[in-house]
A and B are shown apart, each in its own frame.
Chain A
Amino acid sequence: MVPVLLDIITTAAILYIVSSGLLLVFGVMKLINFAHGGLMTLGGYAAVIATAMGMNPWIGIPLAAIFGGIVGLGMERVVVRSLYDRPLDAILATWGLSIIIGQVITLVFDRGVHFAEPPIRGVISILGEPYSTYRLILTAVALLLGVGLTMALRGTSLGLSTRAVIMNEDLARGLGINSGLVRSITFTLGSGLAAVAGALITPLSSVDPNMGVAWLISAFMLVLVSGSSLYSLAVASVVLGGAQVIVSNYFGSVLGGMTIAALAAVILRIRPQGFSYE
């Protein structure tokens, strides 16, 4: 029982880390960033680079943030900006960007699987059950991320402007808020978060040019059922992640693999606003 419970908690935490960047972009820009998976892959390779250069594995994380941020900013400037009023085309174009990222990575490295040195190894005993220390650390990271993002949105002037743009962009513009700049910063931040998530999951998943795709679908589904609220995302991560763990445990990992997508589709059919309370 304890391992299942821990699995649910840590899976929810990982899903939250993986989805928060996508949620931020969706909330502010009403745009689904299908390059999210590619950016996660990029982050994974940042960790690989850190390992290859013999650096402390933790260095991979800020490195990923820098990579993701720079690439994200470039994508927003060159491609995404012209697609704000074509949301379905934006999905396709960002998917194309994801392909480009994947192919560039393939050219630089190769198609094979790479490994990044995990920042921490070993297990810790929880109520007499050994459990992966790293997964528990990720849970702490997810909590920090949730609290940090919430505080940034509530406590800073940029956060306030960002929330204003989410709630009513026209009104925000009328009060002198440069919503274009807010979008640009949000996309950069969302991309940085995606890459950080990619670096953080390297100890749990192999690093290859397609590592982001599977995560993208889960993150996308979670964001759809969460609307634009970080709080709803936490609820969705626990409910859907929990369902995935339970289904995987009792019905096999194959069925577990489609739990999030199938469940989210059903939830949206019954309640189009998903877990958001509006």
Chain B
Amino acid sequence: MSDANVKELGSASIQRPQIAPLTRMVVIAAICLIGVGAAPFFMDAYSVNVLVRSMIYASIALSVDILWGYLGVLTFGQSAFFAAGAYATALVFTYGGFSAGNALAAVLIGIAVAVALAGLVAFLAFWHGASSLYASVITLVLPIIVTQVLFSGGTYTGSSSGLTGFETIPLSSEAWFWAVGVWLVVLTSAAWMYTRSDAGRLLIAIRENEQRCKYLGLNTSNIKAVIFLICAAIGAIAGWMYANYTMVVAPEIAGFTFGTELLIWVALGGRGTLFGPVIGTIIIDYASAQLQGDFPFVWKLVIGIVFVSVIVALPRGILPLVSHAANWLRVRTGKAQPQQYAQLQLHKASRSERNIIAAESSGPALIVSGVEKRYGSLEVLSGIDFEATYGEIVSLVGPNGAGKTTLMTCIADGSKRSGGTISVAGQDIGHRPPEECVGLGVGRKFQMANVFDTLTVGECLQIARARLDPLSKWQKSGVCSLPPSAMHVVRATGLHTELHLPAQVLSHGKKQALELAMVLALEPKVILLDEPTAGLTKAERTLIGTILVELTKAEQLCILLVEHDLDFVREISSRVIVLHQGRIVLNGSVDEVVNSELVKSVYAGSGH
């Protein structure tokens, strides 16, 4: 299709060059670099010394913030990767002596060990179906094991007293200050660009609703694992700097207590803000060094109290509070500018070749044969057999507990059924997880509107397209290509004027429409809709119904609909399947089903 990417204006938001925030970031980074360059000339030697360490800690706190604040993985174990880098350095220098080559080897070994450990953790923690608590537990076990390994190294690793007295990169404190300062500014800028980019929004989407991401065809386990490995490498580099700079390593740096201290710094600074954790870490570590001499225990007590208060009362940390106050001040002084939203353009996407071939092929879109589902001895579905073709809306009806949603789940997730086969567009779904079933052409809309609340409407749509149009990793692309069907829903429901709004402020009906558009953006062949009209007004129901009928005809989609509103079913379905107690009791035209005595008795109670 050559007429693809016909430009179509989406949001009417303020026309503003995309470069503005980027420029601001470059300016801020430049100011920070100048500050780093100048600072040693205005500070005493002790402060410079302490701040080098504080900035090293800040760089690892940044990696904790990416994992916890953005990806939602609460990690207690970042200290283990720090120790991997630090101990690799200490061991290489202790046993190989210092040389430039060894310094390079040390950082590479450190990163390799950290990444290998992180790979093991990711394998355990992010497998399909692992809970977020389990992931945290694994990150808690890691530092305990690493600490014990360091202890068991005996004199080789220095056991409990660690290693000292090795020769390292011969730099003055000031030079270290500059090196670490530049690294921190570059790292923070890179992280800022990544987290603001389209791909960075995906991290938030995973944090908000990992299940929805999987049903958008995204392999979230892999994404989490890759980010985890990168953060492990950042931790190892910080450890390498630490060992080079302090010339001391001890098992405490691998420990759970240090891992938790990183969390405290991030929480106080403000999780999910990058700058907050960096600034917070520097301030807290520097202040600790300054105050620890005079009030050693009171200081830690104060940190503890502030930490608990922040977790309870300010879950997003102190930085957002400061920026809110700044905004408030700007409003008061009349300098406030209207909030600028990034502009997003909607493009028409070309339908993928595969889809067209599938639509023109003659076989059924969906074949369900002999499907069963059991929970222990409880049989929820048994002997489910039916087919559905392209261009058909098949409604699944039945009383509560008949197994309708369970059947949907079995079609969308190959690992869920206990028996039978399901094929979509001629391909057996086997035991594929949901993200792979999407690849075969299954799109699922959940019962309760299931969108990413803190992302904008436009970002939700972009993430829905991420499977087909890879997301930019370094910028906001400002465009989103949608297939005609999704575009139709967006325009018909007026969502195209609301692309810049956070999804959580949408009305319930708009959320349902957004989720439908997100599912259509996947270019599915078989769409599973679980009560798409629940909680909608009459007008909204009619609109959704009309759209579904149009789409089915125009795009030759196959729609399977679970619905309680039988008026709605009657209006739009081409066929109705009645489920009762886990079995199909009737499969026929709307009229047949409506006039069936059997169905009346199923619905009206057995005593009729």
Q: Identify which of residues 66-107 in chain A touch chain B, using a CB-to-CB cut-off of 8 Å.
A: 79, 82-83, 86-89, 91-93, 95-97, 99-100, 103-104, 106-107
Tell me whether B300 is interfacial, beta carbon within 8 Å.
Answer: yes
Q: Do A89 and B308 touch (CB < 8 A)? A: no
User: Chain B 300-313, CB within 8 Å of chain A: the 1/0 string?
Assistant: 11011101100110
- Chain A, interface size: which category? 35 or more
Which of these, B127, B145, B263, B297, contacts A106 with CB under 8 Å? B297
Set of chain B residues within 8 Å of A86, measured between Cβ atoms: 315
Cross-chain contact A257 with B124 (CB below 8 angstroms): no
Q: Assess the B315–A89 pair: CB atoms within 8 A.
A: yes
Give the secondary structure class of B's interface.
helix
Please give the number of chain B residues whose Cβ is less than 8 angstroms from any Cβ of chain A in the complex. Answer: 35
Residues B94-131 near A (CB distance < 8 A): 124, 127, 131
In the complex the two chains form, what is the Cα distance from A91 to B141 in whole Å?
Answer: 15
Which residues 100-145 of A sit at the B interface, judged by CB distance below 8 A? 100, 103-104, 106-107
Q: Is the CB of A88 within 8 A of B301?
A: no
Task: Tell whether B152 is near chain A: CB-to-CB under 8 Å.
Answer: yes
Report if A265-B307 is in contact (Cβ < 8 Å); known contacts: A107-B301, A213-B257. Answer: no
Q: Are A92 and B144 in contact, CB atoms less than 8 angstroms apart?
A: no
- Inter-chain contact A268/B134, CB cutoff 8 Å: yes
Near A by CB (< 8 A), chain B positions 25-77 give 74
Within 8 A of A (CB), among B150-174: 151-152
Closest beta carbon of chain B to A217's beta carbon, Å:
6
Take A254-B148, A258-B144 as given contacts and tell me if A79 and B312 are in contact as well, using a CB distance cutoff of 8 Å. Answer: yes
B430: min CB distance to chain A, Å? 23
> For residue A98, which residue of chain B has the nearest CB?
B304
Cα distance A265–B148 in the bound complex, in angstroms:
16
The interface residues of chain A lying within 8 Å CB-to-CB of B133 are 87-88
Q: A residues within 8 A CB of B257?
A: 213
What residues on A are CB-neighbors of B305 within 8 Å?
96, 100
* CB 8 Å contact bits of A159-188 with B (1 = contact, 0 = none): 000000000000000000000000000000
Q: Which of A79, A83, A92 meets B263, CB within 8 Å?
A: A92
Instruction: Evaluate contact between A103 and B312: CB separation under 8 angstroms.
Output: no
B140 at the interface (CB under 8 A from A): yes
Asked if B304 and A217 sit within 8 Å, CB to CB, the answer is no
- For A35, give the chain B residue with the smallest CB separation: B308
A252 is an interface residue with CB less than 8 A from chain B: yes
Known contacts: A79-B312, A96-B308. The answer to whether A265 contacts B152 by CB under 8 A is: no
Query: A96 is contacted by which of B264, B298, B315 (Cβ under 8 Å)?
Result: B264
Q: Which of A88, A220, A257, A272 contacts B134 (CB 8 A)?
A: A272
B137 engages A83 (CB within 8 Å): no
The complex places the Cα of A261 from the Cα of B144 at a distance, in Å, of 8
Q: Does B534 contact A (CB under 8 A)?
A: no
A residues 230-278 in Cβ contact with B at 8 Å: 252, 254-255, 257-258, 261-262, 264-265, 268-269, 272
A257 to B149 alpha-carbon distance, docked (Å): 10
**Docked-complex contact A92 and B152, CB < 8 angstroms:** no
Q: Is B493 an interface residue (CB 8 A)?
A: no
Partner pick for B136 among A79, A83, A88, A96, CB 8 A cutoff: A88
Establish whether residues B151 and A254, one from each chain, have CB atoms under 8 Å apart when the complex forms.
yes
Which residues of A are interface residues toward B (Cβ below 8 A)? Answer: 79, 82-83, 86-89, 91-93, 95-97, 99-100, 103-104, 106-107, 213, 217, 220-221, 224, 252, 254-255, 257-258, 261-262, 264-265, 268-269, 272
Jot down 8 A-B pairs with beta carbons below 8 A, ordered by A. A88-B74, A88-B133, A92-B267, A103-B298, A252-B152, A261-B140, A261-B144, A272-B134
Chain B positions within 8 Å of A, measured between CB atoms, are 74, 124, 127, 131-134, 136-138, 140-141, 144-145, 148, 151-152, 256-257, 260, 263-264, 267, 297-298, 300-301, 303-305, 307-308, 311-312, 315
- List the 6 shortest-distance A-B pairs measured between CB atoms, nearest first: A99-B304, A103-B301, A96-B308, A254-B152, A100-B304, A258-B148
With A88-B74, A89-B311 given, name 8 new contacts (CB 8 A): A79-B308, A89-B315, A92-B307, A93-B312, A96-B307, A97-B308, A255-B148, A257-B151
